[in-house]
C-alpha cells in the first residue's frame, strides 16, 4: 500500500517537471521570433571602423552602377557614330552633285551658303561655290519667269551652258577685283550701298513703296533686298577700283574742266575730249528731252542734271563707268535739255588680266 502511494507521488512530480519544461520551451521560441540570436561572426562597427565598412558597402553597390554607366557610354557612342555617318553621307552627296553633276538645286544652294565649298581658286584666294550658284540661279530665274525660256529645249540647254561658263568667269573675276581692291586700299561702305539704292528708288526705278520695291526684285530676279545690295556692293567696288587705277582718264577730265573754267566753248571742248562718238560732233548734246525717270541715263547723271540751272556747267561727275561734265541748255518744268562730255574708264578686264597673269586661276568644275 505504501509502495503504491509512493509511485503515484512520483508520477505527479514527473508530470509537473514535464509541464515546466514545455512552458520554458514555448517561451524560448516566442523570444526567438522577436530577437534573433547574436551572430558571433557579425562585424562590430565602431568609430574607428565606420569608414572601412562604408567603403565595403559602396564597393558592393558599384557592381550594379558600372553596367548602367557603360550603357550610357554606348548610347553616346552609337548616337555620335550615326551623326558622323550622316554628315559624311551628306557631304559625299553634295560633292558628287556639285562637282560631277554641276547641280544648281535650291537644296544645294542652301548647303553652299553654310558649307564653304570652293568652285575655283583665284590666285591664293578660294572662290565660294555659293557665289557661282547665286549668279547662275538669278539668271535662270529671270529667263524662265520674264523671258519664258524653256531650258529643256535644245536652244535653252545651249544658252544655259553658255551662261554657266560666263557665270564662272564672272565670279572668278569678282574675286580678282576684291584682291585688287585690297591691294589698292579700296572699299565700299554700307552707307554707299544704301545711298545707291536710295537714288534708284527716288527716281522710281524700283517701285515707289517698300512692297513694290521688294516685289520688283523678287519678280525680276528672285532677289531679296539683301541680295540686291550684295550685287550693288560688288558693282560699286569694281567701279571704284577702275577709278582708282585709271589715272589717265582722270587727267583728261581735269584738263577739260580747266579749259571750261577758263572760258572755252563747251561744244569745242566736247569735240576735243569726249569719248562719246555719237554726241561729240554736235556739241555733246544728248539729243532728247530728259526727265527724272529717264531709264536711258544712269541715275547719277539724272540726279546731277536736275541740280543745275540753265547754262550752268557741272564739276566732274563719276557715274561709275565714266567721268562726265554736264551743261544744262534748257529747263522746261520737270524736264531738261543738256549736253555732256564723256571720259570713259578703261575696261576692268585690262586690270584683271594683268593680275591674272601673275596670279593664275584654277576652276574646280567644267560647266
Q: CB 316: neighbour CB atoms within 10 A? A: 15
Question: Tell me, what's the pLDDT at 175?
Answer: 96
Domain contains 239: yes
Domain termination site, one of 188, 214, 245: 245
Domain contains 87: yes
H or E segment and range at residue 136: helix 129-145
User: Residue 268's closest CA among 250, 255, 251, 256?
Assistant: 256
The reply to whether 67 and 163 lie within a common domain is no
Residue with cell 560631277: 100
CA dist., res. 256 & res. 273, Å (int): 7
Domain contains 351: no
The C-alpha cell of 340 is what?
Answer: 555732256
Residue with cell 542734271: 305
pLDDT category at 357 given cuts 50, 70, 90 is confident
At residue 4, does pLDDT exceed 50?
no
Residue 341 and residue 274 in contact, taking contact as beta carbons nearer than 8 Å:
yes
The reply to whether 292 and 176 lie within a common domain is no
CA dist., res. 362 & res. 367, Å (int): 13
Domain contains 197: yes
The C-alpha cell of 328 is what?
Answer: 544744262
Q: 3-state class of 29 per DSSP?
A: helix
Domain contains 320: yes
Per-residue pLDDT reduced to its tens digit, 151-168: 889 988 899 999 999 999
Residue 315 buriedness (CB in 10 A; 0-12 / 13-18 / 19+): exposed
CA dist., res. 1 & res. 149, Å (int): 147
The reply to whether 221 and 293 lie within a common domain is no
Domain contains 45: no
What percent of the chain is modeled with pLDDT above 70?
79
pLDDT category at 292 given cuts 50, 70, 90 is confident
Domain contains 337: yes
Average the pLDDT over each of 80-94, 170-184, 337-351 and give the range with the smallest value: 80-94
At residue 32, does pLDDT exceed 50?
no
pLDDT category at 255 given cuts 50, 70, 90 is very high
> What does the pLDDT average to over 178-186?
95
Domain with 253, as residue range(s), is 247-345
DSSP state of 43: P
CA dist., res. 7 & res. 5, Å (int): 5
| Cα Rg, the chain, nearest whole Å | 47
CA dist., res. 221 & res. 207, Å (int): 15
> What does the pLDDT average to over 122-137?
94
- What spatial distance separates the first Cα and last Cα of the chain, rounded to whole Å? 142
The reply to whether 204 and 86 lie within a common domain is no
Residue with cell 512530480: 13
CATH number of the domain where residue 137 is located: 1.10.4030
Q: Look up the pTM and report it.
A: 0.73
Per-residue pLDDT reduced to its tens digit, 220-252: 888 999 999 999 999 999 999 999 999 999 999
Amino acid at each position: 500500500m505504501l509502495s503504491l502511494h509512493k509511485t503515484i507521488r512520483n508520477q505527479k512530480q514527473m508530470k509537473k517537471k514535464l509541464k515546466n519544461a514545455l512552458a520554458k520551451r514555448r517561451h524560448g521560441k516566442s523570444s526567438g521570433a522577436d530577437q534573433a540570436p547574436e551572430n558571433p561572426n557579425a562585424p562590430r562597427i565602431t568609430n574607428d571602423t565606420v569608414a572601412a565598412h562604408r567603403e565595403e558597402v559602396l564597393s558592393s553597390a558599384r557592381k550594379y552602377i558600372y553596367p548602367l554607366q557603360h550603357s550610357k557610354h554606348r548610347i553616346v557612342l552609337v548616337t555620335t557614330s550615326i551623326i558622323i555617318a550622316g554628315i559624311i553621307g551628306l557631304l559625299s552627296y553634295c560633292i558628287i552633285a556639285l562637282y560631277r553633276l554641276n547641280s544648281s538645286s535650291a537644296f544645294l544652294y542652301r548647303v553652299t551658303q553654310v558649307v564653304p565649298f570652293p568652285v575655283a581658286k583665284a590666285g591664293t584666294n578660294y572662290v565660294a561655290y555659293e557665289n557661282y550658284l547665286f549668279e547662275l540661279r538669278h539668271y535662270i530665274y529671270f529667263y524662265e519667269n520674264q523671258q519664258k525660256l524653256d531650258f529643256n529645249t535644245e536652244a535653252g540647254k545651249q544658252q544655259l551652258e553658255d551662261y554657266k561658263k560666263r557665270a564662272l568667269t564672272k565670279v572668278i573675276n569678282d574675286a580678282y577685283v576684291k584682291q585688287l581692291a585690297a591691294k589698292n586700299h579700296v572699299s565700299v561702305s554700307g552707307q554707299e550701298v544704301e545711298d545707291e539704292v536710295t537714288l534708284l528708288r527716288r527716281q522710281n526705278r524700283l517701285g515707289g513703296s517698300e512692297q513694290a520695291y521688294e516685289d520688283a526684285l523678287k519678280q525680276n530676279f528672285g532677289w531679296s533686298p539683301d541680295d540686291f545690295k550684295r550685287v550693288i556692293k560688288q558693282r560699286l567696288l569694281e567701279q571704284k577700283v577702275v577709278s582708282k587705277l585709271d589715272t589717265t582718264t582722270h587727267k583728261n577730265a581735269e584738263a577739260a574742266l580747266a579749259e571750261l573754267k577758263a572760258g572755252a566753248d563747251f561744244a569745242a571742248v566736247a569735240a576735243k575730249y569726249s569719248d562719246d562718238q555719237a554726241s561729240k560732233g554736235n556739241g555733246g548734246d544728248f539729243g532728247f528731252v530728259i526727265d527724272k525717270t529717264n531709264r536711258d541715263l544712269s541715275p547719277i547723271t539724272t540726279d546731277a542734271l536736275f541740280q543745275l540751272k540753265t547754262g550752268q556747267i557741272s564739276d566732274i561727275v563719276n557715274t561709275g563707268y565714266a567721268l562726265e561734265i554736264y551743261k544744262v541748255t534748257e529747263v522746261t518744268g520737270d524736264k531738261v535739255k543738256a549736253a555732256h562730255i564723256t571720259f570713259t574708264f578703261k575696261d576692268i578686264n585690262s586690270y584683271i588680266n594683268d593680275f591674272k597673269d601673275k596670279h593664275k586661276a584654277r576652276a574646280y568644275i567644267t560647266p
